Chains A and B, each alone.
Chain A
Amino acid sequence: MIKCPFCGTNQVANTIFCSECGVYLLEDERRGTEALDVDPKNWSDETANEVLAAWDKKKSGTIVVRLKIGEKQREVETTLVKSVHLGRLDPASDVFPEVDLTNDDGLGKGVSRRHARILKRDNHVVVEDLGSINGTFVNGKRLAPYIPEPLNDGDQLQVGTLMIEVSLG
């Protein structure tokens, strides 16, 4: 038996979240993100209008986001319903990014727990930096925090120093 530190109820061994109050019960060794010397690559960037115009041609409907992550090119795919968060899982602080970059050396590559999110806005896909320490880049251009920028098929997304290839379909 383990005792929930938040509400005091007894929980069976190996329980991950308290059945009464929902608090995370495991000890956690996840660390905060360190600031890195991030060197953006200056690829030429399309203007926002060009990207939006390209998207206008595409019919609206469900958008599938496919990401190829890091050197290992790990691939994940999700249908964009609301938003897809990118970051590092930290259940103790209620951070549950849909795309958890912990195992892509997220910590070493300066990925914040709450780093960026990809979302749909008026049938366009945009990416927003969530005030991350080491920044979010689209094709080498650093995003201003909390200002969503268009994300296009084939774009190179960079979170901290982790490179992610984006395909949208």
Chain B
Amino acid sequence: MTTQKPITIAVMALGGQGGGTLADWLIEVAERSGYFVQGTSVQGVAQRTGATIYYIELFPEAAARAAGKDPVLALMPVPGNVDLVVAAELMEAGRAMIRGLVTPDRTALIASSHRIYAISEKSAMGDGRADGAQILEAAAAQARTTLLFDMEEIARQKGSVISAVLFGAIAGSGALPFARRVYEDVINADSRARESNLAAFAAGYENAQAVSPATPQDATPAVEAASHAGRALLEKAAKLLPPEVLGIAAHGLRKVVDYQDIAYGEDYLSRLGGIAATDRQFGGARKGWELTREAARHLALWMTFEDVFRVADLKTRGARFDRVREEVRAAPGQIVGVSEFMHPRVEEFCDALPAGLGRFVLHRAGLRAIFGRLFGRGRRVTTTSLGGFLTLFIVARLGRFRRRSLRFQNEAAAIDAWLSTAAEAAAKNYDLAVELVACQRLVKGYGDTHARGMRNFETLMTAYRRLIEDRDAVAKMKRLRQAALSDEEGAALKRELGVIGLA
């Protein structure tokens, strides 16, 4: 009996990622290097965006010739029997580990660390993303060797595809007994995109030989004021707030001032100062100023609610025009037209009117119907045309009168009510107050989405009043908040309210 064993390779990819091309290239490299090759795949319905697996076995041709027969090679990977696992995406590396294909005694794991989000992650109403750190942790423990880096980014830089970078990474890792030249010959023999594939291959190869683990970036970079007036505000904040929260408060200030003006920044500081005082009074120092920190974030987000002035302003900025060009990869100097899909309804129109007038129109069915017809359908505004741009630009400039608008007055009242509720809660239950502040996260979006968020927010505020004496109030509020973010119809929230006896 021979002791010669095949080299076994599993390639995990998603439909459309070029896993088949990579498998074909690997087969050709092996054949050119004197190996007997068998490869197969399972695609099925997965060829449309799902996960696919390619499996290849290599056996030295010389050993087969010496024995005078063909080897019997397997058509599927067996746990504990895989030499190389290649994954074109981070979670697919995780899937390979779940299947037991990665074992410490023999498996080299080569994977791209980038993410292609699954539908469950994308469609969550908040942040549904899976925790990639756990995949990295498991990989370090389960594989003989690991090689993980963002190959999608390299492919993008080289104008190529991820399979070429993976191919380079496999070559550079030395996981297979083949020379670099053979890999390059195979790419050269393929008529498609030779140049960019070779460049991506080389980048993958070099990265494999000198890969350094990525360091996570600081989520909140420091703020330095760009103007005299801005600096004065920051100095005022430093006097008013605990130093531990200054970083996030500075971001809040920047956003609020950018939204309106310096005076609005003063408003922000005075509201936040009030919360900080409450925080100090009820032992915030011991709690790491959690209440002020959360308030700094959520207050800024609420105060910069998205009304028509805000949208018009953001859509017409020069920096935004540049960003769009970059996003769509326009060449320097290339003409790019941009049009917006907008659907202001009669409600948004009235919101922008002076409060009295806005209310007047909104509460008169006849008037409302007339304006409703005017705003009854979506419109496509071409921001790069003079007419479209000027319309939005003028609306944006009208934002200086925002304080008089119906929306502003409604929001200001709601903000103050929310903050005073939180302050009141802090006196009884500090952590519950922090939870209340965080409920602002429910309020987002436009139109119906915003209305739904506001409805859920109010439901939670009502719930709070009945939970204030409850010993598990914090946990219950947290559960309610998660429930509010788990489906659009509010079924989970209703269920959860029932569970804790508030239905």
Judge: A and B partners, yes or no. no
A residues sitting closer than 8 Å to B (CB atoms) are none
- Report which B residues bind A (CB closer than 8 A): none
